[in-house]
Amino acid sequence: MSQEGVVQKPASIPGYILAVVAESLYLINLLVLPGLAFLVLAWLYLKYENKYESLSPLAGCHLRQTFSASIWAGLLLILVVWVIFMAGGVNAPYTWVIVILYFTICHFTLVFLGIVGLVKALAGEKFHYPIIGPTS
């Protein structure tokens, strides 16, 4: 009997649960519990950091991507906003307009990429965040 027409259920793919948890923590970090969810994600990353050889490719990919993207998100949302405030002054109205526009567009983009990553994890597929994610 041929196995060509058989589709593997995503939940049966090795590393499926860890991939979904990593992507979920990334979104929770951006939307619900910033900082706390990052600490849990960082703990998972450090726990499995040296075990990538034994870790499934799916879980390793999503764990590396979400950890890297979370660090980039923090830099983009906190450091860049701070630089804009320092350059324009906190009391200048145009600075607030720039900060609000920048934060809204950047945050939306990061959340959208997180949703795409979660969908890919739920489908049992690898995903690489463009620009902010590691390529390996």
> In the prediction, which pLDDT does 1 show?
43
Is 128 among the domain residues? no
Q: Please indicate, yes or no, if residue 3 is contained in any of the structural domains.
A: no
Domains: count for the chain:
1
Could you tell me which residues come within 8 angstroms of residue 21 by beta carbon, excluding any fewer than 6 positions away?
Answer: 44
**Residue 108: inside a domain, yes or no?**
yes
Residue 11: the pLDDT is 73
Angle at CA of residue 46, ends 11 and 36, nearest 5°? 85
Query: Is 129 a member of any domain?
Result: no
Residues in the chain where the model's pLDDT stays below 50: 1-2
Residue 130 lies in a domain: no
Give the pLDDT of residue 2: 45
Write down the pTM of the prediction.
0.86
What CA–CA distances, in Å, run from 25 to 1, 31, 53, 68, 111? Answer: 41, 10, 23, 13, 12
Question: What is the residue range of 19's domain?
Answer: 13-122
